[in-house]
Amino acid sequence: MGPEFRLATAYIPYQVLQKVYEPMKGLMRGTIFPELYRPYVKMKKGRED
């Protein structure tokens, strides 16, 4: 592929700073922004149909 091919384009929606976690809670959750907190949920093996 040459330079004429575009590999990716990022889309970032406009965000307004609203509230943030306290520093210790942010460290425990990996982010200070509640909107970005997505806890890991382990799924069972196989398909979930």
| Domain parsing of the chain, residue ranges | 15-39
pLDDT of res. 8 = 87
Instruction: Report the distance separating Cα 3 and Cα 22, nearest Å.
Output: 45
The predicted structure's pLDDT at residue 39: 92
Q: What is the pLDDT of residues 3-47, one digit of tens each?
A: 788 788 888 888 888 999 999 999 999 999 999 999 998 888 766
How high is the pLDDT of residue 48? 59
Write down the pTM of the prediction: 0.54
Distance between CA atoms of residues 30 and 44, nearest Å:
24
DSSP 9: -
pLDDT (0 to 100) of residue 1: 61
pLDDT value at position 28?
Answer: 97
